[in-house]
Amino acid sequence: MNATNNDFKSKTKRNTIQLAIWTWSWVLSMALAAFGPKFLWDQNKGLTLAAILLNLAMGFMMIRANMKFLNGLDELQRKIQIDAMAISLGVGIVGGLAYSLLDTTNLIPWDAEISLLVVIISVTYMVSLLVNQKRYL
């Protein structure tokens, strides 16, 4: 029983590390695609397209690592994660569309930027995760 528990912990740790590596790779490739055209390669379209394609590839690998991470969790941890993701998705869609409507109907004096939505989704996910951890553990 103890060997099985150690194997599970080892697998979970390995999956978590892989997810962190792919997440940071995606974040760095996003920064490269966002800032490279201005600061590194003087708006070269070919290099910009390559950076965006790299970002897409890193994003795909991050999604795969996230799926592997989730599939490697026990049932309770998977439920906690999926509940937090569901709340974040709902807040992102409902809040994001409302935010877009505020912009398109000129009820806010600024343009709706995706960065604010990403922050809201991220904070919602983290808070939901903490609340669910406290509730179930």
Q: Is residue 4 pLDDT above 90, yes or no?
A: no
pTM for this predicted structure = 0.85
* Alpha-carbon span 58 to 27, nearest angstrom: 9
* The predicted structure's pLDDT at residue 5: 78
* Alpha-carbon span 35 to 39, nearest angstrom: 6
Cβ neighbours around 44 below 10 Å, total: 13
Kindly state the average pLDDT of the residues 17-23.
97
Q: Which of 83, 82, 103, 95 is nearest to 121 (CA)?
A: 95
Mean pLDDT of the chain: 96
Of the pLDDT bands very low, low, confident and very high (cuts 50, 70, 90), residue 6 is: confident
Give 22-49 pLDDT, tens digit per residue: 999 999 999 999 999 999 999 999 999 9
Contact 68, 78 (CB under 8 A): no
Give 102-129 pLDDT, tens digit per residue: 999 999 999 999 999 999 999 999 999 9
